[in-house]
Amino acid sequence: MSNISGEAIDTLKASVRGRIISPSDADYDEARKVWNATIDRHPALIVRCAGAADVIAALSFAREQGVLVSIRGGSHNIAGSAVSDDALMIDLSALKSVRIDPQAKRAYVEPGALLANFDHEAQAFGLATPLGINSTTGVAGLTLGGGFGWISRKFGVTVDNLVAAEIVTADGTWRRVSAESEPDLFWALRGGGGNFGVVTLFEYRLHELGPQIYGGLVVYPLEQADQVLPKYREFVAQCPDELTVWAVLRLAPPLPFLPEDAHGKPVVVLASCYVGPVENGERALAPVRSFGTPYGEHLGPMPFVAWQKAFDPLLTPGERNYWKSHNFARLDDETFAILTNAVKSLPSPQCEVFIGAMGGQTNRVPVDATAYANRDSIYTINIHGRWSDAAYDETCTKWARDMFNAMTPHAIGSVYVNFLTGEEGDRVRAAYGPNYERLAEVKRRYDPDNLFRSNQNITPSA
């Protein structure tokens, strides 16, 4: 931004209520950090917004000065789209308000809020909406990409529960959008990522749930995968919507319910969340305990907010991460063999693969009802390369890519946009399938100059 005058920057500082952070400030390096430590980019300026007015001012500055814009919410995105070199970062991380209307069963959420903030407020009233599986994830980025988690089989993906949003578009106009007001833009926001503007408030539908659910972990030795995974497949196919069971293949963490000699060994972890009557949970999950001879298990009633944080220790910020992901209509034995063999030779003890079982309500919504298009995906497999030392970048990345390539013939070709890395722009069309052309047309109407392109970009239609 060397060609921008100090006077212009001073004018920007005078026009915002929040704070402007520049490379000369002591906290600049901390302010530009994101969850994924492989992302090391240097924005020209960071506008830590205090409200919608600051967003409008920041966008006006970006347009006038012709600079790239990036948008930071929870900064958990694997591709690191919150930060770009020489760009103006619109930092929404200070906007964490979550307001619950328990009578109307509505949540009003600012874009800097994390899943933990949302759950804390909503569960005080025994209410919830489908979010993700890591409580430090940002609500905004999760939602704009579609969003799914432990209760999606019962209540749909996150955007199925988005009622309205307040957004500032590329021309600086504030808009409240819903199914009745600017419905095309509202449609595009429900899965189209950060391509259409800066959302300053989300309104969600809430559902009665908790505060107690039944769930937990059953941990099997990887040597039993040949019997456990086919039984898992058969069981998940007939699960009620109230029950979600995901499979995680990794090295066993030092969990207190596992024998010490199992720590660090390859395992198949079946993670279950049952949101029916708690007293029915033990019976609903009984089959999961009988797929083999487990190392150990930890099942029982627990607070929903605790379950939402259960995987946080495995996903702490500051580690190096590289993901590859596929969607599947079914899991065949060949796919199980690929997964099992890959976990026998992990390049880092933090690497893992998870099988996210979708189905239920996520598949009952028409593909064109929202921008999120993955309505035929029954399973999402995310290959999660994770390590600490940059010296292992090539090894861990290759491990993930090799497994991804081996599974490609068995997948359906689509992908969850929030799991795309920064190098996978060529897969954006696959993420949206038949909805892509409509998204490109909405992009043309609301962001014809592609101001919002620091993302999994949808190019404006000609």
The confidence band for 36, taking pLDDT boundaries of 50, 70 and 90, is: very high
Nearest to 419 by CA among 352, 324, 340, 328: 324
Task: Quote the tokens at residue 270.
Answer: 């079946």
Q: Which CATH class is domain 6-91?
A: alpha beta
The C-alpha atoms of residue 44 and residue 299 are separated, in whole angstroms, by 49
252, 265 contact by CB (below 8 A): yes
Instruction: Determine the pLDDT at residue 6.
Output: 82
Task: Specify which residues 216 forms β-bridges with.
Answer: 272, 299
Angle, helices 333-343 vs 225-237, to 10°: value is: 130
The 3-class SS string of 430-445 reads HHHHHHHHHHHHHHHH
Task: Quote the tokens at residue 398.
Answer: 């290759």
Angle in degrees, CA 355, 188, 364, rounded to 5: 50
Q: How many CB atoms lie within 10 A of CB 258?
A: 20
Nearest to 203 by CA among 104, 124, 350: 104
Instruction: Determine the pLDDT at residue 104.
Output: 98
Q: Which CATH class is domain 98-209?
A: alpha beta
pLDDT higher than threshold 60 for residue 2: no
The residues spanned by each domain of the chain are 6-91, 98-209, 212-419
Residues 65-78: what's their mean pLDDT?
96
pLDDT higher than threshold 70 for residue 447: yes
Nearest to 197 by CA among 205, 207, 206, 189: 189
pLDDT higher than threshold 60 for residue 175: yes
Which residues are within 8 A (CB) of 151 and not within 5 positions of it... i.e. 6 or more apart? Answer: 128, 130, 207, 209, 244, 273, 275
Alpha carbon of 35 to those of 76, 137, 323: distances in Å? 5, 9, 13
Q: Residue 348, SS3? A: coil
pLDDT higher than threshold 60 for residue 337: yes
Residue with tokens 């070199």: 85
pLDDT higher than threshold 80 for residue 74: yes
Please name the amino acid found at residue 434: P
Angle, helices 333-343 vs 393-407, to 10°: value is: 170
267, 249 contact by CB (below 8 A): yes
Instruction: Determine the pLDDT at residue 224.
Output: 98
Instruction: Determine the pLDDT at residue 369.
Output: 98
Convert the pLDDT of each residue in 275-303 to its tens digit.
Answer: 999 999 999 999 999 999 999 999 999 99
The reply to whether 212-419 shares the fold of 98-209 is no
Assign residue 35 a region: left if phi > 0, alpha if psi is -120 to 50, beta otherwise? alpha
Q: Residue 381, SS3? A: strand
Q: Which CATH class is domain 212-419?
A: alpha beta
pLDDT higher than threshold 90 for residue 1: no
The C-alpha atoms of residue 289 and residue 286 are separated, in whole angstroms, by 6
pLDDT higher than threshold 60 for residue 108: yes
Instruction: Determine the pLDDT at residue 7.
Output: 87
Instruction: Determine the pLDDT at residue 67.
Output: 94
The C-alpha atoms of residue 236 and residue 230 are separated, in whole angstroms, by 10
Q: Residue 454, SS3? A: coil
The C-alpha atoms of residue 78 and residue 242 are separated, in whole angstroms, by 29
Share of the chain above pLDDT 70, in %: 100
pLDDT higher than threshold 90 for residue 3: no
Q: In what order do the strands lie in the sheet with 379-387?
A: 296-303, 212-221, 266-274, 243-251, 352-357, 379-387, 320-328
342, 313 contact by CB (below 8 A): no
Q: Which DSSP symbol is given to 270?
A: E
Residue with tokens 């992901």: 325
What stretch of H or E contains 159? none
Q: What is the value of pTM for the model shown?
A: 0.96
Residues 152-165: what's their mean pLDDT?
98
77, 132 contact by CB (below 8 A): no
Task: Specify which residues 248 forms β-bridges with.
Answer: 269, 354
